[in-house]
Structure 1
Amino acid sequence: MPPPPPSPWPHYAWAAGHLLLLVCAIKYLVSIFTFKAASNVIWYKLSYAGALISYAIVCFKAVGMPQASPQYAQRALADENVQYFLLSLYWFLTRPIFPSLIPFATFSAFHTLTFVRTNIIPKILPSKPPPPAQPGQPAPRAEQHPYAKAIGTWVRNNYESAMQIVAFAELVIFAYVSVGALIRRNSLLTPVIYAHFLRQRYMFSSFTRQAVNAFTAAADARINAPGSPPWLQQGWVAIKLAGARWAAAIPGGTPAAQPQQERRR
């Protein structure tokens, strides 16, 4: 007897989590610009509740049930979905940091569009039946609805540029929480945790490496310009050396892992 087909409900729960994240993030970010964020914190929390639902489902599929073993922990922490799940849990439990929603909302926008294209449009706007197959030729497939085609084309054309924006946004978030720690707007622990997250992203994400390299090149040009004070140049060199050593090291002192192929979350 063949095994029963997998339940579609986890996929629908995953999509619902992304939709919840996207809608609530938009509402909270709008409240920032209308100076009503203090009374709309619930939208921030609901955004990350949606993220936790979606990422928990993906993490379970990617790494399985949690296990008390160093091998499982190493494999899980190298998975980008686990990294974003742990980060979303931290954001959910701490004081709101509004820029932190930008990367998560961007991911959710692409996932929501893809879900609409592959699951919603075919049900409410069915494709035209394919033409009859010619003798000796494989049966033609039904054409996608024009709306589904347009969404697919837009997602393909804009995915890489959106991921580049996310990578730069994550650097801005690190600067934001670092300054926030200095002026006591957020915990001193927040930039430490986020720096570790960025270190993991640098190891496994080509987009993050490109963003860091672009920022470093721009800072080099500005700091090493004629007339720049020597102490600033020396300090910048020390920061880069310390950052390079820290980014290259992983727990246990072994060399950094090779970047894995990036997956859509």
Structure 2
Amino acid sequence: MGDSSDTQTQEQQQAPQKGWEALKCHVLEHKVEVALWATRVFTILFTFAYLIPIFGNPYNAYYKALMSNAATSALRLHQRIPRVTLSREFLAHLLVEDSCHYLFFSLIFLYVAPVTLVLLPVFLFAVLHSASYSLTLLDTLGQNSWWGARLLISLVEFQSRNILRLVAFTEIFLMPFTVFLIFLGRAGLLTPFIYYHFLSLRYASRRNPYTRNMFYEFRLLLERTASKPGLPSFLRSAIMAVINFTSRLAPPIPQVQQQ
């Protein structure tokens, strides 16, 4: 009987823990990942607080959403590049990281008047990346916990490709929109030039080709439109001029090294 109880005790100790105690252990062991999840959730909450201003100042919520995104990007950069060095190689490595791009994005629009469209890519990235880690946290609590949340997470993951395409479309659309903001007096003269550098980094991204693919789809659409027989010649010339101008601005694509 004594051997049997000792065996059961050992099996219980070796079995994976579930519940709030297991969640607590998981948080203590994965502090950075949980902090990333928390900053993304804050980005989502602050975006809703801006769109539905029930409590507090919506403008404060807008800038807090951008700052939460900046915190997420900084933490992700710490994961990807833990050692900081003052060298050209470090700077080149930094600029190819997607998290650096969106840290840059947040800093650009922290000094621009609130624009709802700016929060869209920030919000969508927060939803997409927090959903996958939320599933990990729910698994820690137990397989059958929070089935409603699991359903929402599965819907987000199922639509991940469309979400990334929408983010890419918003990134591109914001380029001419920043020019329009100057005429509205809501952005500085340098904002479009700074944003162009951000968009160039997104175009050349090694890990996320959606912005580059969206530019290609736009080009095909415009070329098909320009090739229509009934289109007036001045419109055809204007479309081809836009295509050629945009193509000249496109940065070179770095070769992806196989690791």
Same-fold status (TM-score > 0.5)? yes
Match of 1:116 among 134, 138, 160: 134
User: Contact 2:226–2:240 (CA<8 Å) still a contact in 1?
Assistant: no
Deviation readout 1:191-229 (Å, 9 max, x if unpaired): 222222222222223211221122223333444544544
Compare 11-20 and 71-80 and name the one that shifted more: 11-20
**1:167 aligns to what?**
168
Q: List 4+ stretches of structure 1 deviating above 6 A.
A: none
Q: Given the alignment of the two structures, is residue 244 of structure 1 paired with residue 247 of structure 2, yes or no? A: yes
User: Contact 2:112–2:186 (CA<8 Å) still a contact in 1?
Assistant: no
What is the aligned-residue identity percentage? 21
Tell me, what secondary structure is at the counterpart of 2:42? helix
CA 1:7–1:154: 2 relative to 1, 3 Å: same
CA 1:98–1:260: 2 relative to 1, 3 Å: farther
Alignment of 1:71-220 (within 5 A): 71-123=89-141, 126-127=142-143, 150=151, 153-204=154-205, 205-220=208-223
User: Contact 1:117–1:151 (CA<8 Å) still a contact in 2?
Assistant: no
Within 1, Cα distance between the matches of 2:176 and 2:249? 18
The aligned amino acid for 1:93 is Y
Q: Given the alignment of the two structures, is residue 9 of structure 1 paired with residue 31 of structure 2, yes or no? A: yes
Compare 196-205 and 149-158 and name the one that shifted more: 149-158
- The two structures have a TM-score, normalised by structure 1, of 0.74
Q: C-alpha displacement at 1:247, in angstroms? A: 1.2
- The two structures have a TM-score, normalised by structure 2, of 0.76
The aligned amino acid for 2:30 is P
Within 2, Cα distance between the matches of 1:28 and 1:145? 27
Within 1, Cα distance between the matches of 2:257 and 2:241? 29
Match of 1:257 among 251, 254, 257: 254
User: Contact 2:108–2:194 (CA<8 Å) still a contact in 1?
Assistant: no
CA 1:149–1:17: 2 relative to 1, 3 Å: closer
CA 1:228–1:163: 2 relative to 1, 3 Å: same
**1:50 aligns to what?**
68
User: Contact 2:50–2:62 (CA<8 Å) still a contact in 1?
Assistant: yes
Compare 185-194 and 150-159 and name the one that shifted more: 150-159
Within 2, Cα distance between the matches of 1:190 and 1:66? 28
**How many residues align structurally?**
230
Structure 1, unpaired ranges of 5+: 129-143, 250-255
Deviation readout 1:66-105 (Å, 9 max, x if unpaired): 3221111111101111111111122223322220110110
Q: C-alpha displacement at 1:171, in angstroms? A: 1.9
User: Contact 2:70–2:103 (CA<8 Å) still a contact in 1?
Assistant: yes
Structure 2, unpaired ranges of 5+: 1-25
Match of 2:85 among 67, 72, 87: 67
Q: How much is the aligned-residue C-alpha RMSD, in angstroms?
A: 3.1
Instruction: Answer with 1 or 2: which has the greater Rg.
Output: 2
Within 1, Cα distance between the matches of 2:49 and 2:256? 35
User: Contact 1:13–1:53 (CA<8 Å) still a contact in 2?
Assistant: no
Compare 79-88 and 194-203 and name the one that shifted more: 194-203
Within 1, Cα distance between the matches of 2:255 and 2:242? 24
Within 2, Cα distance between the matches of 1:79 and 1:25? 24
